[in-house]
Amino acid sequence: MRGILTLTCAVYLSIGKLLGQVIGLKELMGTGDMWPYLLAVSGLPAILQFVSMLFFPEAPCYLYIDKGDEDGCKKALQWLCREDDVNLKIELEDMRKERESAQVTQTKTMLDGLRDRSVRWQLMAMLIPSSGPNFCGINAVSGRTLSITPVLKVLKGGVLKSIDI
């Protein structure tokens, strides 16, 4: 569960941008005296995520493979999966095999991962889509739109009267 919560960063970021745009309108909270409250609203998703993480146990794989805590792993598996003893033993046996294989293999550094040809396509498959939004110009459009909006003068009917740039 902790892994799922930490992977929701992009979702929280998108929701935060949307809420910031909507709540920042002058009609809602976009005035000078409402600024402290508007700033406080941005911390609510972070507080919600932090508090919810306190109620979830550590990942069973982390407890058993990395820390070697078999009892904690059993408790976490029972809490998360509500499994019987047979399935629990199967899961623990799989983790035991993974732990033994992890102890035999040599730990790789980040530089080793970048140099390894066997993972090059996987790295490209991650880097290209994740860097695409940064280079598409949406941030520039968003920033420019916010700086131009006060300059535009729009009539009640929605007709553009003048642009003073």
Is 11 a member of any domain?
Answer: yes
Cα 59 to Cα 24: distance, rounded to the nearest angstrom = 38
- Say if residue 85 is in the same domain as residue 52: no
Is 100 a member of any domain?
Answer: yes
**Per-residue model confidence (pLDDT) at position 145:** 63
Chosen domain end from 67, 87, 105:
105
**Per-residue model confidence (pLDDT) at position 155:** 44
Is 165 a member of any domain?
Answer: no
- Say if residue 64 is in the same domain as residue 49: no
- Tell me if 31 sits within 8 A of 49, measured CB to CB: no
Task: Look at the chain and report how many structural domains it folds into.
Answer: 2
- Say if residue 52 is in the same domain as residue 1: yes
Is 28 a member of any domain?
Answer: yes
Chosen domain end from 105, 120, 136:
105
**Per-residue model confidence (pLDDT) at position 86:** 78
Is 156 a member of any domain?
Answer: no
**Per-residue model confidence (pLDDT) at position 51:** 92
Q: 135-152: b or e for each residue (b if 16 or more CB lie within 10 Å)?
A: eeeeeeeeeeeeeeeeee
Q: 71-100: b or e for each residue (b if 16 or more CB lie within 10 Å)?
A: ebbbebbeeeeeeeeeebeebbeebeeebe
Is 143 a member of any domain?
Answer: no
- Say if residue 97 is in the same domain as residue 75: yes
Helix (H) or strand (E) holding 163: strand 160-163
- Say if residue 5 is in the same domain as residue 50: yes
**Per-residue model confidence (pLDDT) at position 157:** 47
Is 47 a member of any domain?
Answer: yes
- Say if residue 6 is in the same domain as residue 40: yes
- Tell me if 65 sits within 8 A of 93, measured CB to CB: no
Cα 63 to Cα 91: distance, rounded to the nearest angstrom = 13
Chosen domain end from 84, 105, 126:
105
- Say if residue 31 is in the same domain as residue 81: no
**Per-residue model confidence (pLDDT) at position 3:** 59
Cα 116 to Cα 120: distance, rounded to the nearest angstrom = 7
- Say if residue 51 is in the same domain as residue 82: no
Cα 5 to Cα 3: distance, rounded to the nearest angstrom = 5
pLDDT along the chain (165 residues), means of 10: 63 78 81 82 83 87 86 86 78 88 80 87 83 72 61 49 47
* Domain that includes residue 21, residue range: 1-56
Is 73 a member of any domain?
Answer: yes
